[in-house]
A and B are shown apart, each in its own frame.
Chain A
């Protein structure tokens, strides 16, 4: 007969398959990933000036600083300025839709006071405001340059503009860690459910009269759940690569995920053994995981950051040490749990 622990692990996976829960799990992860991408891409295209250059904005300029401001506005990409002699004509042009925004610029007390009027309450508002901000920032730089003799320090020159999308940073520091750690959390939750359900249904008694030890039962459950996470993470890595997001050090990444999965699954199993009611166990597990992951993000070498830096290849040559550290952590927790199981005592 095969190793009973393997048999238990196989049974765990079989129920997951028969209930098709794993499909639902993958769908949820895909949804979360697509959704966070939507949020970021959508917000960025709304709130980032670089990506809205397709829109041509016409700005009415009036006031006694019109000439200087108009020069800056016309220099901006996708912006066009129209001078108006009075505020009333500018306002009329705004109302009739000839211009998208009005800038009233007056020089007073050594400063330029600009009153910007933007259309209210539609999608264009954000784009117009962002473009106005760009133009006025440039205007500020020009004006500041003229007053540089009164300043003790000159501002540093800006590095050139690059054609980079903000999506790059998001893919590696948010999306990829999300896809790597969601399977880990789900695996832990599965373990909690699996153990508490044996208690609830009373099937643990049946398992225990079989020739297996309690440690074997826990082993089987932990193995099954912990093995699922790196498989899913690998799937996401492949999908990302297919989508054009190349991930460096994939093997190291998967090892980190496997180690963390072992750690979290061990945590789940421990909680479920200590508090065998699902309500309490799931609550403790979710708070515990939140605390653990929230807490580690404060550390300089947190898991999210590790995954991101591995994926963009911003790690030094010592990265195998880092990965080994995670493996020791996960393995250590697992060994501790195995030691502790006989002492917890499952006789309720």
Chain B
């Protein structure tokens, strides 16, 4: 009867043995990487870093850089009151007020209080910049006035209040109440100071602010000395939008300062993934990694050992950065999953790339895509809860002093953890001799990696579900890129893009499977079964995400619109219909693609077209049906 216990003991021993080898490899990796840096390189690096610091400091000290210096030329006489304005503004260059040269050497001419503008886009842009400069100049002059109440006769206090639709107070908002009440009080005290004992006003407002669940009130605490209007802009840098002072000082809730600080977290990541990618690719050059492969350690132990030092380094740097810019444990906990995904993506890149050059492009792509994915939503931190799809939003919240709930943390970092795990799994799958030391194009390597994870029918569905984090990332990027186009073009294009991303995600591993484990079973029955299973897996994954959204973010209306095919509907009847419609859709379209995948690449691509077509038509119907 000691069977289970023996097995447990054996398992513990194996685990301990595995951990020991991971630690050994990690030590070896550290010492080898450190050995690369000879004294000359170290000195060069130190000099470069010092210079980078000096340049950054100089940029800070001189008040930033003017990329648009002297881009617009304003014709203004030296004795005109406007010549001072032109001198103050770096983008404007003063020229003699010669009307004959208007449009050639001068864009705007000021003569006798009249403005002459050349007929060109550039001149209009120049006029607009000039207008802003005059406004700034006026503001500066007014600040120097002795009689401040005449210079700034209007004092504005801006506050935000939630509009509670009647009877829509949900039970789920319990998690938000704590922070809501807290920020509400903050707003109240701030405004009482500001309005100089405006008793009735702030009293009644307090009632309104209490109902605010996710308040943005943190900002108003920064603006202490409101007796003097017009200085709010300086104090409000960290919090973003100013909330009181002269009308020119109030601004929308834009977390500019916090975003800039959050960007500091990204800089070390971009540097650390370079050596990490190199060390992975180094193993594959001249069959260097063969010795390690034949050693009695598993590939996952090797990969874990090689990754740990870099992950540790990133965690250390992140902690230091957090300490430096005033972030708490929440910031670190939010940035670490981003760092993990950076490393995971680089690892896969290092396993797929054929040369250093290719690796460079892969790492650059990773940096660009992940940075933008983390950044864009965070810009809208104070605007919409959907910003939480990026962990950086948590950092912004943390820096602003507004709290973060556990559900929010899970919601925004979940895809990053799952995504990293999937990428490491894929990469470890090709950490074997036949893939590491051969020069094959990246797409074939990718198919190999997928194949290494296909073991049976069930794994097909699992792979589909695991693709969802990447589908989210791709769809968000599509929104970002298509945003520039006019709405009539961008919405249909977006629907096509979403359909394409989802169809490819659901069928690419089937295509791989028909070149691997299912190579001998290319009949239409297998194709339909696999297609339906893959669709089911995707559907289940999507539903899980929808439930997480529902639980974590009960007031997320925008999310419903954006991912409408997930089927979170307003009424139960529509909900039931929409619950199973996506399942039918996913199964059908993937089966179409699967049929094509049994043949060759051309057939697969050709079959994707009708699949995407059906999917787009469905999305279009859902969007127009739900309004």
Binding site for B on A (CB under 8 A): 15-16, 19-21, 24-25, 27-28, 31-32, 34-35, 37-39, 41-43, 46-47, 87-88, 91, 94-95, 97, 104, 106, 108-123, 125-126, 129-130, 132-133, 136-137, 139-140, 143-144, 146-148, 150-153, 155-166, 168-169, 172-174, 177, 186, 189-190, 193-194, 196-197, 200-202, 271, 274-275, 277-280, 282-284, 286-288, 290-291, 294-295, 297-298, 300, 302, 304-305, 308-309, 312-314
B20 CB–A CB distance under 8 Å: no
Q: Contact: A140 with B246, CB < 8 Å?
A: yes
Q: Contact: B40 with A151, CB < 8 Å?
A: no
**Which of B134, B252, B282 contacts A126 (CB under 8 A)?**
B252
Q: Contact: A136 with B368, CB < 8 Å?
A: no
Q: Contact: A104 with B354, CB < 8 Å?
A: no
Q: Contact: A153 with B115, CB < 8 Å?
A: no
Closest-CB distance, A99 to chain B (whole angstroms): 11
B350-373 with Cβ < 8 A to chain A: 354-362, 364-365, 368-369, 372
- Considering the chains assembled together, what is the distance between the CA atoms of A119 and B480 in angstroms? 26
**Which of B215, B360, B384 contacts A122 (CB under 8 A)?**
B384
Q: Contact: A156 with B137, CB < 8 Å?
A: yes
14 further A-B pairs in the complex, CB-CB below 8 A; given A34-B484, A140-B153, A314-B72: A35-B372, A87-B201, A95-B164, A115-B205, A123-B383, A123-B384, A158-B138, A166-B128, A169-B71, A201-B286, A277-B41, A280-B37, A304-B67, A309-B70
- Considering the chains assembled together, what is the distance between the CA atoms of A31 and B477 in angstroms? 9
Q: Contact: B157 with A111, CB < 8 Å?
A: no
B270-318 with Cβ < 8 A to chain A: 270-271, 274-275, 278-279, 282, 285-286
Q: Contact: B67 with A158, CB < 8 Å?
A: no
**Which of A19, A37, A97 contacts B355 (CB under 8 A)?**
A19
B270 cross-chain contacts in A, Cβ below 8 A: 286
B149-178 with Cβ < 8 A to chain A: 149-164
Q: Contact: A168 with B122, CB < 8 Å?
A: yes
A sample of 16 inter-chain contacts (CB < 8 A) reads A31-B369, A39-B376, A115-B198, A122-B384, A125-B253, A125-B383, A137-B247, A162-B117, A162-B131, A279-B275, A284-B48, A287-B52, A287-B271, A294-B55, A298-B55, A308-B71
Q: Contact: B361 with A97, CB < 8 Å?
A: no
B59 CB–A CB distance under 8 Å: yes
Q: Contact: B355 with A279, CB < 8 Å?
A: no
B87 CB–A CB distance under 8 Å: no
B51 CB–A CB distance under 8 Å: yes
Q: Contact: A173 with B365, CB < 8 Å?
A: no
User: Contacts A115-B195, A193-B360, A298-B55; is A125 near B160 (CB within 8 Å)?
Assistant: yes
Q: Contact: A156 with B157, CB < 8 Å?
A: no
Q: Contact: A312 with B67, CB < 8 Å?
A: no
1/0 per residue, CB under 8 A from A, across B598-613: the answer is 0000000000000000
**Which of B154, B282, B483 contacts A114 (CB under 8 A)?**
B154
Q: Contact: A91 with B204, CB < 8 Å?
A: yes
**Which of B85, B275, B358 contacts A283 (CB under 8 A)?**
B275
Among B73, B212, B270, B275, max chain A CB count under 10 A is at B275
**Which of A117, A202, A280 contacts B41 (CB under 8 A)?**
A280
A40 closest partner in B (C-beta): B484
Q: Contact: A164 with B124, CB < 8 Å?
A: yes
- Considering the chains assembled together, what is the distance between the CA atoms of A62 and B531 in angstroms? 63
A281 closest partner in B (C-beta): B41
Q: Contact: A114 with B155, CB < 8 Å?
A: yes
A274 cross-chain contacts in B, Cβ below 8 A: 40-41, 44
1/0 per residue, CB under 8 A from A, across B314-351: the answer is 00000000000000000000000000000000000000
B33 CB–A CB distance under 8 Å: yes
Closest-CB distance, B402 to chain A (whole angstroms): 11
**Which of B51, B155, B357, B481 contacts A34 (CB under 8 A)?**
B481
Q: Contact: B121 with A164, CB < 8 Å?
A: yes
Closest-CB distance, B439 to chain A (whole angstroms): 10
B91 cross-chain contacts in A, Cβ below 8 A: 169
User: Contacts A116-B159, A121-B162, A280-B41; is A31 near B481 (CB within 8 Å)?
Assistant: yes
B200 closest partner in A (C-beta): A87
B45-97 with Cβ < 8 A to chain A: 45, 48-49, 51-52, 55-56, 58-59, 62, 65-73, 81-82, 85, 91, 93
A300 cross-chain contacts in B, Cβ below 8 A: 69
A278 cross-chain contacts in B, Cβ below 8 A: 278, 282, 356
Q: Contact: B134 with A159, CB < 8 Å?
A: yes
Closest-CB distance, B432 to chain A (whole angstroms): 21
B355 cross-chain contacts in A, Cβ below 8 A: 15, 19, 193, 197
B158 cross-chain contacts in A, Cβ below 8 A: 116, 118, 129, 132
User: Contacts A43-B379, A169-B125, A177-B67; is A151 near B151 (CB within 8 Å)?
Assistant: yes
B204 cross-chain contacts in A, Cβ below 8 A: 87-88, 91
- Considering the chains assembled together, what is the distance between the CA atoms of A259 and B592 in angstroms? 53
- Considering the chains assembled together, what is the distance between the CA atoms of A35 and B379 in angstroms? 14
**Which of B108, B142, B356, B365 contacts A196 (CB under 8 A)?**
B356
